[in-house]
Amino acid sequence: MPCEHSQLELHGYLDGELDAMGAANFEKHLEDCPDCKRVLAAEESLRSALQNAALYERAPESLRKNLLGTPEKKVTPIQPGRVSGFAWQWLAAAAVLFVAVTVGWGVWQRSQSPSSMQLVAASLVDAHLRSLQPGHLTDVESTDQHTVKPWFDGRLDFAPPVRDFSTDGFPLLGGRLDVVQGRTVAALVYGRRKHIVNVFVEKGPPAEGWSGFGSLQGYHWLAWQKDGFSFFAVSDVSAPDLNQLEQLCLSQ
């Protein structure tokens, strides 16, 4: 009979959904439960197999185009009123068709050029890559949030929230200033196993395109807001890992 913890807590632990106390308790339990250890290893390999298999299927272009409105030849019926001359109807139909085509064309054009979200994502992924060059990762290197936070004082016109999540597997490594699309932002650096996560922080509501999540060149990114700050995390860790970091940041 398998250990009962393997059926619930183990999954909460795997998904980063246990609170710090719960996770610590489970880790303690894990030390002397070979059952759970075995199941956890199997679950982890299932997860990485699922993620490596690239099963996610993105919406086809045709769907996107349909939704953004293709100019339609058939227009909605119009009410020409009493003066219903033949030419009048044609003129009105032509006018409506013209509007439909113009609006449709505008929307279509917009759908062809990269969205502001993609542009923001591209520049933040670039910033992430730059940070991985030797010597570029951190301006202030410390695992202590009380060292990193004051460092930003006087360098930015806001004090970014800095927290260490090492008990949840995201140790704070340090911080630096970065420039994204001409704006100076705070970059907080976290570790995740052997990987680096950059969390870019800006004050105020998110700038245009600073939203959503996705992946680009093999890097995942995820944006969120809290307490008047906008956050944008970029890393090569898995999307669920970024999600966990978001949850940690949103909690408390």
Q: For every residue of 207-238, which 3-state class applies, written as one string?
A: CCCCCCEEEECCEEEEEEEECCEEEEEEECCC
Taking CB under 8 A as the binding criterion, the range among 83-91, 96-104, 146-154, 194-202 that sits at the site for other proteins is: 96-104
Q: Are 198 and 187 in contact (CB under 8 A)?
A: yes
Q: Interaction with other proteins in 162-201: which residues (CB under 8 A)? A: none
Encoded one letter per residue, x for contact with other proteins by CB under 8 A and - for no contact, window 40-69 reads -xxxxxxxxxxx-xxxxxxxx-xxx-xxxx
| CA-atom Rg of the chain in angstroms | 25
Q: Interaction with other proteins in 207-246: which residues (CB under 8 A)? A: 211-214, 238-240, 242-243
Answer yes or no whether residue 78 interacts with other proteins by CB under 8 A.
no
Q: Are 68 and 59 in contact (CB under 8 A)?
A: no
Q: Are 203 and 158 in contact (CB under 8 A)?
A: yes
Tell me, by CB under 8 A, how many residues bind other proteins: 55
Cα 168 from Cα 120, distance rounded (Å): 28
Give backbone dihedrals phi and psi of 187, rounded to 5 degrees, phi first: -120, 120
Cα 204 from Cα 188, distance rounded (Å): 17
Question: Looking at this protein, which amino acid is placed at residue 4?
Answer: E
Using CB under 8 A, pick the residue from 39, 187, 234, 237 that binds other proteins: 39
Half-sphere exposure of 44 (CA within 13 A, CB side): 11
Find tokens 């993609």 and name the residue: 118
Encoded one letter per residue, x for contact with other proteins by CB under 8 A and - for no contact, window 113-152 reads ----x-----------------------------------
Minimum separation from the CB atom of position 46 to other proteins (A): 5
Minimum separation from the CB atom of position 175 to other proteins (A): 25
Minimum separation from the CB atom of position 10 to other proteins (A): 8
Encoded one letter per residue, x for contact with other proteins by CB under 8 A and - for no contact, window 5-24 reads -xxx-xxx--x-x-------
Q: Rule CB under 8 A: which residues touch other proteins?
A: 2, 6-8, 10-12, 15, 17, 38-39, 41-51, 53-60, 62-64, 66-70, 72, 74, 76, 100, 103-104, 117, 211-214, 238-240, 242-243, 247
